Amino acid sequence: MRDLLDNAKRSMKRFARRNPRLRRTYHRLKGQLHRASLKTGKASRTGGVRPENIVWIFGSGRSGSTWLRSMMSDMERHRVWEEPMVGRLFGDFYARAQQGNLLSADFIMGDPIRRGWLRSIRDFVIEGAHLSHPRLGPDDYLIVKEPNGSTGAPLLMEALPESRMILLVRDPRDVVASSLDGAKGESWLDEWRGGDSAQRENLADRRPNRFVRRRAISYRRHMTKAGEAFETHRGRKSLVRYEDLRADALGVMRRIYHELEMPADEEALARAVERYSWERLPESEKGAGRFYRKGMPGGWREDLTPKQAGIVEEITGPLLRKFYPEEGPARP
């Protein structure tokens, strides 16, 4: 029964991606119901999640964060906060600030008043978690899928030092190859955007090398900040490579829960890994142009031209050497 429900949900999501009007209607109605429940008190607050029970997933998009959070969400008393983008809200703004502003106490995120605005970020996140998940209890874990907000990872972990962190890493060449495929016309991302690629310049189709360069720069920005947060975080944390997760999902999941010091029933963990395995996905949902594309480490060798691979390696070289030293140096 659970598998039938999972397949039905995936089918509904796939249909909604292909129908932008339906997707907007769905989100509008869902938002209205949520506001109504908060207003009427039907979604009563139960104390909210404790900051130490917040688990952040940082890294880069197209790195397996959906898969990882799906397995974790299957565990008892685990809930998911799906890409709140709070890291992008604060991280991008802070990163773009001029040096003169950062030195000024008049600037809203100036270094002289850092203690104050870090406390504000902390309150903002905790209150946002309460409002988005009003039924969360103090014994629940909140899994925050936030790869596209990783520029703010250092600030978030500094503001919430007791929270837990997962740094999810994937070979940047595979990330860029997956992004390139997803951004082309008539792909899952084009459907999500409303299928308007004909009305705009689609770099993935018209200038793929330029798209590759931009995506590699984005990967470097997100992973560099996520790596900084991981290095400085003194709390519970776990470094996970997508390639290792694909090779031994159950073993890596055991390690994650051990390193994060979170309880995990062995049978429940095995069921979650099996339920969300690549092999269990319907064949109709996998392949080129789909959200679930290959799931095969090293597939970039078939997807990228030598020039495109060289562009990615040039831009992300330090990260490749850091996280994939066994592959040798990146191309000069």
Provide the pLDDT confidence category of residue 48 given band limits of 50, 70 and 90: confident
Q: What's the pLDDT score for residue 285?
A: 78
Which candidate, 206, 208, 188, 209, places its Cα nearest to that of 198?
Answer: 206
Q: Is the pLDDT of residue 173 over 70?
A: yes
- What whole-number distance in Å separates Cα of residue 264 and Cα of residue 27? 33
Structural domain boundaries of the chain? 1-43, 44-327
Interatomic CA distance for residues 171 and 324, integer angstroms: 8
Q: Could you read off the pLDDT of 198-226 as tens digits, one per residue?
A: 444 578 889 999 999 999 999 999 999 99
CB–CB of 240/68 below 8 Å?
yes
Q: How many Å separate Cα 163 from the centre of its chain?
A: 17
pLDDT of residue 200: 44
Q: What is the pLDDT of residues 56-71, one digit of tens each?
A: 999 999 999 999 999 9
Q: How high is the pLDDT of residue 220?
A: 98
Q: Are strands 164-169 and 54-58 parallel, antiparallel or unpaired?
A: parallel
Closest CA to 306 of 296, 314, 294: 314
Q: What is the model's pLDDT at position 284?
A: 72
| Residue 237 contacts residue 217 (beta carbons within 8 Å) | no
Pick the range with the lowest mean pLDDT from 14-23, 73-82, 162-171.
14-23
Higher pLDDT, 8 or 260: 260
In the structure encoding, which two tokens stand for residue 176, read together?
A: 């860029």
Helix, strand and coil content of the chain, in percent to the nearest 5, comes to 60, 10, 30
Q: Please give the pLDDT value at position 282.
A: 83
Beta strands in the chain (DSSP E): 54-58, 78-82, 141-145, 164-169, 237-241
162-175: average pLDDT: 98
Residue type at position 271: R
- State pLDDT tens for residues 271-290: 999 999 998 988 777 766 66
**How much is the mean pLDDT over the chain?**
88
DSSP classification of residue 167: E
For residue range 77-114, what is the model confidence (pLDDT) as tens digits? 999 999 999 999 999 999 999 999 999 999 999 999 99
Residue 323's CB is within 10 A of a number of other CB atoms, namely: 20
Q: Is residue 2 predicted with pLDDT exceeding 60?
A: no
Residue 74 pLDDT greater than 80, yes or no: yes
44-327 CATH, one of 2.60.40.10, 2.60.40.2240, 3.40.50.1970, 3.40.50.300: 3.40.50.300
pLDDT at 197: 47
Sequence-separated contacts (24+) of 296-305 with Cβ below 8 Å: 296/246, 297/171, 297/174, 297/242, 297/243, 297/246, 298/171, 298/174, 299/174, 299/177, 300/171, 300/173, 300/174, 300/176, 300/177, 303/177, 303/180, 303/181, 304/173, 304/176, 304/177, 304/180, 304/212
pTM, entire model: 0.89
Question: Which of 134-138, 255-259, 289-293 is most confident?
Answer: 255-259
